[in-house]
Amino acid sequence: MLEWAWPWIAALLPLPWLLRWLMPAAADRGGIALRLPFAEEAQAIADGATISRFAGLPVLAMLAWLLLCIAAARPQWVGEAQDLPRSGRDLLLAVDVSGSMQAEDMRIGGRPVDRLTAVQVVGGDFLRRREGDRVGLLLFGQQAYLMTPLTFDLKHVDYQLQTSVIGLAGRETAIGDAIGLAVKRLRETTSKQRVLILLTDGVNTAGALNPLKASELAVAEKVRVYTVGVGGDSSQSGMLGMMFAQPAEIDEPTLQAVADRTGGRYFRARNTAELAGIYAEIERLEPSLQAGERLRPRSELFVWPLAAALLLAALGLVSRLAVAQLASAPFRAGRTS
């Protein structure tokens, strides 16, 4: 629909006619007349130019003024109302890429896959449903690295997750350092809702910071930590062509303590179905998107009447110059003769 930002501009439409009516007429100044030998011819040309000028220029001037008033009133095309997503939630995803994540005890589509692949598949779907949130990605092994800072560009975060590889940050597991780095990044934000989701399949075997000590930092900065133990009850490893079942080493008491201290929860993901359910549960625990303000997109249209007014003004100027040229032609002819 069409709307006007400043409709009161319409009150200025009769302004030129009011000024013409209120202002006194120009005084007729008498003087000594100059006799010209070609006075009759000049008067005829002047009369014709005057008729032409009064026949065309006032119409152009009126149209130009009308268009200028329309442009000044700022016509706008208003679209359908749209809800703006609003969340105010900053979410950091910390994923373990240590050597133990290569254990193939998860299944997708009936085929066995390693733990990191399962996290990538399920985590990718989780990220695609985070519209309105700022999400970052942190990878950790022997070291912790922030791969993607908090951003609304969820496609880039998903790309970084999908292209991560086992051993990228070392073969060991530094859970405490990962929590510490995540808290450091989250405390720089102004959001009241700061969440860390940490996925690991092992025990803290590297790094300078103990996980429980790191949880104290999270409590101080009001960062809620959800910990997820990834992996089946046993993992498969091979030696000399033979496969052996080994129990999954997950420090569940520590992960549970970290989550409890920060107001989060600990989850155990033995397969992809449980992992997907954990993401759904975290989404339920953390308030989802709230409806923001309704916005009607507006497109400014003033440029079109403004451009038309400028074009008419240019045509009027060209017409006046042409009239002046015609009026001065006899004088030039008289001088040359």
Residue 332 pLDDT more than 60? no
The pLDDT tens digits of the residues spanning 79-105 come to 776 655 555 678 899 999 988 888 887
The band of 211, judged by pLDDT with boundaries at 50, 70 and 90, is very high
Contact 148, 136 (CB under 8 A): yes
Residue 337 pLDDT more than 70? no
Average pLDDT over residues 165-190: 90
Lowest mean pLDDT among 35-39, 69-73, 166-170, 197-201: 35-39
Neighbours of 217 (CB within 10 A): 18
Task: Tell me the residue type at 216.
Answer: E
The band of 240, judged by pLDDT with boundaries at 50, 70 and 90, is very low
Structure token pair of residue 79: 């679209």
The band of 326, judged by pLDDT with boundaries at 50, 70 and 90, is low
Nearest to 204 by CA among 172, 170, 165: 172
Burial class (CB in 10 A: 0-12, 13-18, 19+), 326: middle
What does the alpha-carbon distance between residue 238 and residue 173 come to, in Å, rounded to a whole number? 21
- CA distances 57 to 11, 50, 287, 321, Å, are 23, 10, 66, 12
Q: Identify which of 46-55, 215-224, 278-287, 304-313 has the greatest average pLDDT.
A: 215-224
Structure token pair of residue 150: 């908090």
The band of 43, judged by pLDDT with boundaries at 50, 70 and 90, is low
- The upper half-sphere exposure of residue 88, i.e. CA atoms within 13 Å in the direction of its Cβ, equals 8
pLDDT at 136: 94
Average pLDDT over residues 221-245: 68
Rg (CA), the chain: 39
pLDDT at 36: 52
The pLDDT tens digits of the residues spanning 250-301 come to 888 999 999 999 999 998 887 778 888 877 877 776 655 455 556 677 888 8
The band of 44, judged by pLDDT with boundaries at 50, 70 and 90, is low
Average pLDDT over residues 316-333: 65
pLDDT at 207: 85
Q: Which residue blocks in the chain are alpha helix, DSSP H?
A: 15-22, 39-72, 115-128, 154-162, 175-186, 211-220, 252-262, 272-285, 303-336
Q: What counts of helices (H) and strands (E) characterise the chain?
A: 9, 15
Q: Kind of pairing, strands 2-4 and 290-295?
A: unpaired
pLDDT at 29: 55
Q: Is the pTM of this model over 0.75?
A: no
